[in-house]
Structure 1
Amino acid sequence: MICGTDEAGRGPIAGPVVAAAVILDPAQPIEGITDSKKLSEKKREALSLEIKEKALYWSIAQCDADEIDQINILQASLLAMKRAVEALPVAPSKVLVDGNKLPNLSVPAEAIVGGDALEACIGAASILAKVERDRQMFEWHALYPAYDFAKHKAYPTKAHLEALQIHGPCSIHRKSFGPVARLLAATSTPNE
């Protein structure tokens, strides 16, 4: 009952950080699992469906932009992973975490740098988290088309930063992140 957990969405300046936890079934191996960033969108989506179908257990959790602003992105990433692990219907015997920091868990855990490319269960979690976050960015795009979230997934691309300058931040922008914080500071009026 080894669980892998990973997150997606630390670098963007809007939207949630999404984490997944996956316990794979050794009797049903899945070919092609690796770090989600190394896979095409089409391949990630296909693997996501296969993981959900064949894994023994999986769950997805997140921290939204307001939580990220309150506790910082590292703590929000760890909290999202903790929530994902705790949402599993069974307690894993051990949790393998991508990175060099561990969430506060009640079961044994090990941090593995580059774990999403080394351990299939972490890679599977990486894929589920990325596919879910991308799905949400398409939904946010429908609400806020001016920012083109469907294209850049809220990463601080040139086009996104230009849209931010023109339209200001929307409800899902992370107000504590540099480009957004600078814009808010420049447009706020000092108290009299």
Structure 2
Amino acid sequence: MNHSTDDDTAAPLGESRFRRETAHALSTPLGSLLLQAELIDHYLRQAKLPQAREAMATLLHDFETFGSQFRSAFSAMADIAEESTDRGDPRSSLAAALAELGEQCIPTSYRGPSPQLALSEAALTALMRRLAMLATESGMTDATLVADTANGQYVVSLGGAARGDTAGKRLSLDPPQALHLAVAREIAARHGGHVSTDRPGTLVVSLPLAPPRAEG
């Protein structure tokens, strides 16, 4: 399995560039809202009131969705800054993330080892939260994190079954999922890890293991 990434996924973006990436993730749904507003204006000019009302209902629904995504952009800033003194344990961090999200996310299972990692519990929980939301907003019915360790690295892949997907496992990385992906990449990069999307439909996160505790 190839876990290599380009420089954009292997190094922290920094606050300024991360804000640009976040804004880019929101640009597609914002553009869609503007097009819908123009369509409503067109219908009104043509006195097509039924079509205008239908388009307005769609716009209001999509605007609520965009509002949620916009709030997520601000929470993203908090997620990448999460720190604590405790070392992260993947399985317990996933459980904490799922407990926080509640019914907002789909069932997400975990398979494989769960070693202590070289990033804080708070940062790892924030990362797991983004992975769970990425799977959920991709339209999956369930998700699975499959973990392994090798050469001082912890590697976990995210996959799952999509609605009506009889062919296998798929994971969407398009907007608005791109925001969750950007946050996951930044958290991993800030702690010496990286995120790969080389395999279609699967996301792979690599993080360094915690160094052995000194005996004393």
Scaled by the length of structure 1, what TM-score is found? Answer: 0.32
Rg larger in structure: 2
Scaled by the length of structure 2, what TM-score is found? Answer: 0.29
